[in-house]
Amino acid sequence: MKRLRMVAGALAGLILAGFAAAQNPAAAKTSGKKSSPTVAAAQEFLDEAESRYFDLTNKAQRASWVEENFITDDTEEIAAQANQELSAFSAEMSRKAHEFDSLTLPTEMARKMLLLKLSAGFPAPADAKEQKELSQVLASLDGDYGKGKWCPSGNASKCLDVTAVGKLMATSRDPEELKRAWMGWHAVGAPMRQRYARMVELGNKGSRELGFRDAGALWRSNYDMAPDELTKETDRLWEQLRPLYESLHAYVRGQLRKKYGNEIVPAHGPIPAHLLGNIWSQEWNNVYSLMDSPKPPQSYDLTKILEDRRTDVQGMARYGEAFFISLGFAPLPKTFWERSLFTKPADRDVVCHASAWDIDSKDDLRIKMCIQITEEDFRVIHHELGHNFYQRAYNGQPPLFQNSANDGFHEAVGDTIALSVTPEYLKKIGLIDAVPEASGDIDYLLQQALEKIAFLPFGLLVDKWRWEVFANQVKPEEYNKAWWELRRKYQGIVPPVERTESDFDPGAKYHVPSNTPYMRYFLARILQFQFQRALCRETGYTGPLDRCSIYGNKAAGERLNKMLGMGLSKPWPEALAVLTGETQMDASALADYFAPLRTWLDEENKANHYPVGW
């Protein structure tokens, strides 16, 4: 989604003075008592706030794009300054918006005023020195991650960046090599610890100045419900899905034990984190080849197909664009192909984490992704373009409404499209000759579960850890301990070697040093299946959800675009209702999608004496 780090700055004093004069000219000239706020003054405040917000947002977007694509001390400073101005402005407008609390405003104005109060994101304190400090800390943390490398045996000529380490961990089956790679990448977090703790102090101070308990409470306020209600809601959704995850965990642990033996993988207890085919153990699809699921008579290897066809990185993106065009969306602008980053440059460091960008809030859409010609990245490119088409759909809304209904929606839209990357879709676009028979559905669902279901507890715990850190329930001297307690509790995994407080393993995950909220990804895993079920119904499809692709269906595209065009103009339950007819997030669609697999997993675990739980 739109990449912005809400950091700190010092421009807002002049801006605030201008707004004060506009609202009450007499107050600018005298020290007398200010008049009571009026609806007209509120409208004038909102108009100018939106105009300035629009300008500063785009300035910060451009600076962040350059910084992530050309990581140097200078670009970090430029990005920090631009984000400093935006954050200071957002924080000041958040404070200023409270001056109109006594008014009863028209619905649209009231929503804009609420969004202004929440727009600070991760606010700096009012003190100019602390604003500058926070902006520099955030830029340096993001830069540290982008420059992070693992150099095997200390050989500087053979250092591996995050993409290379990820590829090694996805393909290697040597437990010692995997352990070294895991340790090597996780070492990038250790130098961040002190600065991260300072970032928390400053963000909490800024949040309290705006009337929030802490930065976590501010983040949780962005969901059209009270902060504590969001915590209860996410816990409710997790409980709906926990039994399915635990059944999958038991099966995967049993299969890994067959591969690596009892000494490396215990029959009971958590799974060692380095064996799951992913740097962070967040998705397990890369260990699919070790699973004994029933293979269909007609199977295919999409990675090999793409390689054999000599598909290049732009060709990967063209497949994604064609999907949206089939739904009735206009093609991407020419500048998308000219300005996006598709491959990692050989001559410089970049932040390779896949992201979609809306540079000018008009039509300058881009992606930044070090694309690999793999099935995984084929799906990822469909996902990332979901962000871009969402961004373009709402760019006719006022600036404060140019975002998704909640941040989970932005992720869910791309994920919904990726769910339609089914064998049926691949046959329609000529990548495979025949659709595997229904007898292979369990195998396909297992592949999906290793990505979608395996991710659920990780998607939940990243922000649970941060909420506890922001609330001072977890102190800096306990950062790593608390991190691994949550990972054991929710994921059932443990590190491959002993970790101490000299480590800072959360920093090895991009979203922590970049200070990007993560709950959106957990919510997206729920919402995407609701979206998909509703869109499949729109097409008239009545078969198994895992075989439904909305590719080529204009009616589904029209229904989707209607919701996308709303942006943030209405509370998310209203946007959800436009697409699905439902007003509550519900994990039943996800459970329905995987119901045949759940039955099969339970039978396999029982037959093989794989214990459930850890």
Q: Name the catalytic one among 68, 130, 384, 604.
A: 384
Enclosing H/E stretch for 108: helix 107-118
- Residue 358 forms beta bridges with which residues? 365
Active-site residue flag, 387: yes
| Distance in angstroms (rounded) separating the CA atoms of residues 512 and 494 | 19
Q: Name the catalytic one among 383, 390, 454, 534.
A: 383
Residue 212 Cα distances to 114, 118, 242, 446, angstroms: 14, 10, 31, 43
Q: Name the catalytic one among 22, 128, 511, 582.
A: 511
| Distance in angstroms (rounded) separating the CA atoms of residues 516 and 351 | 14
CB neighbour class for 312 (10 Å; exposed up to 12, middle 13-18, buried from 19): middle
Active-site residue flag, 405: no
Q: Name the catalytic one among 249, 382, 387, 410.
A: 387
For residue 590, what are its two tokens? 């996800």
For residue 531, what are its two tokens? 């979206």
Active-site residue flag, 577: no
For residue 517, what are its two tokens? 């909220």
Place of tokens 């007819």: 581
Q: Name the catalytic one among 186, 249, 274, 353.
A: 353
Q: Name the catalytic one among 300, 444, 518, 521.
A: 521
Is the torsion defined by CA of 76, 77, 80, 86 positive or negative?
A: negative
- Our CA dihedral for 16, 20, 23, 29, rounded to 10 degrees, sits at -150
- Residue 341 forms beta bridges with which residues? 368
Active-site residue flag, 354: yes
Residue 107 Cα distances to 102, 103, 111, 118, 522, angstroms: 15, 12, 6, 17, 30
Q: Name the catalytic one among 110, 354, 471, 595.
A: 354
Active-site residue flag, 383: yes
Q: Provide Rg for the chain, Cα atoms.
A: 24
Active-site residue flag, 410: no
| Distance in angstroms (rounded) separating the CA atoms of residues 480 and 197 | 12
Q: Name the catalytic one among 133, 321, 411, 451.
A: 411
Active-site residue flag, 501: no
Query: What's the start-to-end Cα distance of the chain, in Å?
Result: 36
For residue 473, what are its two tokens? 């329930």
Active-site residue flag, 511: yes
| Distance in angstroms (rounded) separating the CA atoms of residues 508 and 514 | 11
Catalytic residues: 353-354, 383-384, 387, 411, 511, 521
